[in-house]
A = this chain, B = another copy of it.
Amino acid sequence: MIQLDLSSRTPVYLQIKERITELIMMEICPPDSRLPSVRSLAMELGINPNTIQKAYQELEAEGVIYTVGGKGCFAGRREKAVGLTRQRVLGELRDSLHQAQLAGVTEQELAALLEEIYGGDSK
């Protein structure tokens, strides 16, 4: 459920944070569902448990997930994940669109890109 790109410039722990946030937004991890344990996920991804730990702890600090004593980590409310992602992504879109305009990307091209991603079923 999580694909890592070890050669990416984005650190592994950030890739994990983003992916978990996506899984919560997609409701593949519904609210209060248990996430894989630090150790099992580390094993599965072939990386060190500390790296998962770091991702989970930041997600908890942001309120996207929560931790229960010796039980494990659980998905928080979808709205939290959505809220943080919206804020971040709208900023990124604004920056990218500014540069797109300078680089002569036309509104038609953007419309095509939007159609490609949002397809027919947006709202």
Q: B-contacting residues of A (Cβ < 8 Å)? A: 6-7, 11-12, 18, 22, 25-26, 58, 61, 66-69, 71, 81-82, 85-86, 89-90, 92-94, 96-108, 110, 113-114, 117-118, 122-123
Contact = CB atoms under 8 A, between A and B. Distances in A.
What's the number of copies of this chain in the assembled complex?
4
Contacts of A99: 18, 22, 85, 89
B11 A69 contact: yes
List the 6 shortest-distance A-B pairs measured between CB atoms, nearest first.
A85-B103, A25-B102, A86-B103, A7-B66, A97-B117, A92-B96
Given A25-B102, A102-B85, A122 B107 contact: yes
- Looking at chain A's contact residues, the main secondary structure is helix
Contact of A104 (B82, B92, B94, B97): B82
B103 A107 contact: no
A105 B92 contact: no
Given A25-B103, A86-B105, 18 more contacts: A7-B67, A7-B68, A12-B69, A22-B99, A81-B103, A82-B103, A82-B104, A85-B99, A89-B99, A89-B105, A90-B100, A90-B105, A93-B93, A93-B110, A97-B117, A107-B123, A108-B123, A110-B114
